[in-house]
């Protein structure tokens, strides 16, 4: 842990057990932050936390289902009890909704996608902003998708969740900027993770999880007089 720009800070990463979330958690730890790695699968978040501890950082693995309000409030209570504060929230937890046209989509699948990708971000903001305000400010970074800006045939539910997340992010940014809480949304293109569709794509040309982690690092280390409200991240070559 050589670079300690975030020394003394506490960061929460949802969906931190693998993929983009794990990369973000590890990157923030290298900057000196103590990391709360949360997700639904204990073994996955334990693995991420173990990587951070092995490199000399501090990490706590806490299970949470962001689509469940009681689960999120319980997590907020644990974070407050253990750390007494929080400065960074990365809303990364998400599920896909691909595989066919909307008119054939099972209703319960729609609910799962929207409840995790959009309602879950509302829950974390509702539960954790009081801790950010008590700390004197901080960052909320929402991991959206380029599907939140472009049509996505056979992925309409996923696109709807990300279009909604973008609108939520822009609006909450205006609500919280006077309180020194900077809200940013990142919209990556095709990324080489288990969630992203790979059909017809070359994985080596896709964005990698570390590319999104690098953008998060840029956001949380920028000068205090400014903030970036949105970043659209694309692969250099079309995959």
Question: Which residue numbers are catalytic?
Answer: 158
CA pair distance 233, 227, nearest whole angstrom: 17
| Dihedral of alpha carbons 130, 219, 213, 98, sign | positive
Q: Which of 45, 75, 28, 13 is nearest to 210 (CA)?
A: 28
DSSP labels, 27-87: HHHHTT-EEEEEES-HHHHHHHHHHHHHTT--EEEEE--TT-HHHHHHHHHHHHHHHS---
**Helix (H) or strand (E) segment spanning residue 138:** strand 138-143
CA pair distance 121, 118, nearest whole angstrom: 5
Q: Which of 162, 176, 152, 160 is nearest to 229 (CA)?
A: 176
Are 35 and 22 contacting, i.e. CB atoms less than 8 angstroms apart? Answer: no
């Amino acid at each position: 842990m050589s670079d300690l720009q975030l020394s003394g800070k506490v960061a929460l990463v949802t969906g931190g057990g693998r993929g983009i979330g794990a990369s973000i958690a590890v990157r923030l730890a290298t900057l000196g932050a103590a990391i709360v790695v949360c997700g639904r699968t204990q073994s996955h978040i334990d693995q991420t936390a173990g990587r951070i501890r092995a490199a000399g950082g501090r990490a706590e693995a806490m299970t949470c289902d962001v689509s469940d309000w009681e689960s999120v409030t319980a997590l907020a209570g644990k974070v407050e009890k253990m750390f007494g504060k929080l400065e960074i929230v990365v809303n990364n937890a998400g599920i896909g909704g691909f595989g066919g046209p909307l008119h054939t989509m099972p209703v319960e699948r729609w609910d799962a996608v929207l409840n995790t990708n959009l309602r879950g971000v509302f829950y974390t903001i509702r539960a954790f902003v009081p801790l950010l305000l008590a700390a004197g400010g901080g960052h909320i970074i929402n991991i959206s998708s380029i599907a939140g800006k472009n049509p996505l045939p056979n992925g309409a539910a996923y696109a709807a969740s990300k279009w909604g997340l973008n609108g939520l992010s822009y609006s909450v940014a205006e609500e919280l900027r006077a309180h020194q809480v900077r809200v940013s949304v990142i919209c990556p293109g095709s990324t080489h993770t288990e969630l992203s569709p790979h059909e017809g794509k070359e994985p080596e040309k896709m964005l990698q999880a570390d590319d999104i982690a690098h953008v998060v690092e840029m956001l949380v280390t920028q000068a205090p007089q400014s903030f970036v409200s949105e970043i659209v991240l694309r692969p250099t070559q079309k995959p």
